[in-house]
Structure 1
Amino acid sequence: MSYETLEILRDGGVATVWMNRPDVHNAFNAQLIADLTAACRALDADDTVRVVVLAGRGKSFSAGADLNWMKAAGEASEAENFADAMKLAGMLRTLAGMGKPTIARVHGAALGGGMGLASACDICVVGDKAVFATSEVKFGIIPSAISPYVIRAIGERHAYRYFQTAERIGAVRAGQIGLAHEVVATEEIDAKVAEIVDALLQGGPKAQAAAKDLIRAVANRPLGDAVVEDTARRIAALRATPEAREGLDAFLSKRLAAWVPRG
């Protein structure tokens, strides 16, 4: 896979997607959006990929929208703006909907759309100098496309504050409000990501995809008969799969399951 704005590195079952526009702090433009969409689809379809890590080259994870792209959008028609917004929304949905575990490796700035990317990933590991913001209101717009993922990460209450104030959110605060799972010294980010990757590689890949789908199905739904029945059907279907049989046999035999990397 070759992309104009991305560098993808493979290490066994781990694919690290490096946003590679360091001169503009990995700001979004149409090409980066298209490349991320295509890369997420390709990696999700690749059975040899177990975990996807999203990272940024240079000083920042992603500083949000490219200013030249934003300026062009301000001069475009509403129909053209809608088409552009749908591409951004589609990219975020593709990332968030991946069946593989995803980790955001965040250092430096993660502003606007960058905060959206971090929120759309399953797991977020943050360096202690990282800074987030939903800064859109400062430009007279709103964090619309990223909102489902940011609200999922930080909740409605915090969203009411930060969507309106556009305050900078430091790494420690990001951990406090649920945006970051881990906050570590910047030089320790890769070690922490590797630790989480190792934990992920112990799990069955089909079970992990099913676990993600389970969360989407159950979250924010009232606990009624439909939810209870749905959860029962999901586990019943999985118990009979080859992966589940292999996992149970490996546990009882005190050996590594077939999907766990050796060495």
Structure 2
Amino acid sequence: MHDTLLIDRAPLGADLFCETWTLNDPASRNALTDAMVDALLGACTRAQSDGALRGVVLRGAGGHFCAGGSLGGFAKAIGQPLDAGVPDPLVPLNRRFGALLQALCGLPQWLVVAAEGAAMGGGLGLACCGDLVLADADAQFGAPEVTLGLVPAQIAPFVVRRLGPAAARRWLLSGARWDSVAAQQAGLVDEVVVDGAMDEAVQATIQRLAATAPQAIAATKHLLLQVQSALPLPALLDDAAHLFARALRGPEAPQGLAAFTARKAPPWSAVA
């Protein structure tokens, strides 16, 4: 049986790495099986404590990003009511995908999503977790759940975070498909890649991000997640002040400021 998630670890510099996580079930357009979700969760857990890992690229094999959730594990429950008082086993199965989306958003490394072909349903949820989203000109995005009598349950909060409430309503309640240009206009996609040059676009993005300081990236991502939470503004600004103070007193600030003054690359930069 093939691995549902391929992980390629490539060097960025001395003891620095970037990983590409490739969803690997081309026959199903990389539909999210339980095994694939488990593999992605495992990769996220490992990445949390990997000090040498600077960033992650998430993409799909076979010309598609991800066609959404696989209903294989739910097939016997379709249309079948639950006996009274019995805990529904579908609840933790669905909730586990939400845990994956939360883990992807919480990665301390930068996360680049490279979307080609279909990015539907759960695939749209994955795309909403990217710090930067690149999309092939022919990519298609959407949340077709409501057209199938289903609910876009776990992806909804992440779609709202990425697109804002008004655009999220249009996307989640219509079930429509959106091309890359429309997705860029909505705020999901950062760059539309033409002429099939996704590999080149990914490498150019990695090179830009390779100049960033890892601890500063982790702290900034933490702050951005706090902004999206219901934390009151005074508490949010208190947290931000502590993050700033720790960064200024930490090892990266003196190195980065000294390198700036000397017009040299800082020690963490993998850019030549």
Do 2:74 and 2:90's aligned partners in 1 also have CA atoms closer than 8 Å? no
Do 2:128 and 2:188's aligned partners in 1 also have CA atoms closer than 8 Å? yes
Do 1:4 and 1:31's aligned partners in 2 also have CA atoms closer than 8 Å? no
Q: Find the residue that maps to 1:90 and give its secondary structure.
A: helix
TM-score by length of 1: 0.93
Equivalent position amino acid for 1:8 in 2:
I
Q: Indicate the residue corresponding to 1:228 in structure 2.
A: 237
CA distance in 1 between counterparts of 2:90 and 2:195 reads: 37
Q: What does 1:155-234 align with in structure 2 at a 5 Å threshold?
A: 155-219=164-228, 224-234=233-243
Q: What does 1:88-127 align with in structure 2 at a 5 Å threshold?
A: 88-127=97-136
CA distance in 2 between counterparts of 1:15 and 1:41 reads: 14
Do 1:25 and 1:63's aligned partners in 2 also have CA atoms closer than 8 Å? yes
Q: Going by fraction, where is helix more abundant, 1 or 2?
A: 1
TM-score by length of 2: 0.90
CA distance in 2 between counterparts of 1:86 and 1:223 reads: 27
Do 2:114 and 2:198's aligned partners in 1 also have CA atoms closer than 8 Å? yes
- What is the percent sequence identity of the aligned residues? 31
Q: Structure 2: any 5+ residue segments left out of the alignment? A: 12-16
2:23 equivalent to 1:23:
no
CA distance in 1 between counterparts of 2:77 and 2:246 reads: 47
CA distance in 2 between counterparts of 1:42 and 1:145 reads: 23
Q: Indicate the residue corresponding to 1:38 in structure 2.
A: 42
Q: Indicate the residue corresponding to 2:18 in structure 1.
A: 14
Q: 2:66 aligns with which of 62, 65, 74?
A: 62
Instruction: Mark the CA change 1:227 to 1:31 in structure 2 (over 3 Å): closer, same or farther.
Output: closer
Q: 1:135 aligns with which of 111, 132, 144?
A: 144
Do 1:21 and 1:27's aligned partners in 2 also have CA atoms closer than 8 Å? yes
For these two proteins, the number of residue pairs brought into alignment is 261
User: How much is the aligned-residue C-alpha RMSD, in angstroms?
Assistant: 1.9
CA distance in 2 between counterparts of 1:91 and 1:221 reads: 21
